Amino acid sequence: MNNLTREVDERKKKLEDRENDVASREKNMENNEEELQVKAEELQSHEAKLKEEGRRLQNVTHRLQREREQLDADKKKREKPSREKQQG
């Protein structure tokens, strides 16, 4: 009877250990899922900031391009009268 009791106790202990191990793994998985969720939210926020910065840069690029075109047009206007004077 003593051997049987010992064997039952050992099996109970193994079962408890397995249950504790499973519970620990489940808790770790929950923590990992929470960490991944936080990281995903951070990435989405960062992506939104990058998109906004991209839009700003695109606007600046277009503005600079228009300014460059205007400067080129002004330069041509200034050159045109001086050419006419040289030819005249």
- Please write the tens of the pLDDT for every residue from 43-56: 999 999 999 999 99
Kindly state the average pLDDT of the residues 48-71: 98
Q: Residue 41: what pLDDT?
A: 99
N-terminal to C-terminal alpha carbon distance within the chain: 128
Q: Work out the pLDDT band at 12, boundaries 50, 70, 90.
A: very high
Is 80 exceeded by the pLDDT of residue 33? yes
Closest CA to 65 of 73, 78, 50: 73
Q: Could you give the CA distance from residue 65 to residue 55 in angstroms, rounded to a whole number? A: 15
Residue 69 phi, psi (nearest 5): -60, -40
CA 47 to chain centre: 4
Q: Residue 79: what pLDDT?
A: 86
Q: What is the DSSP letter of 32?
A: H
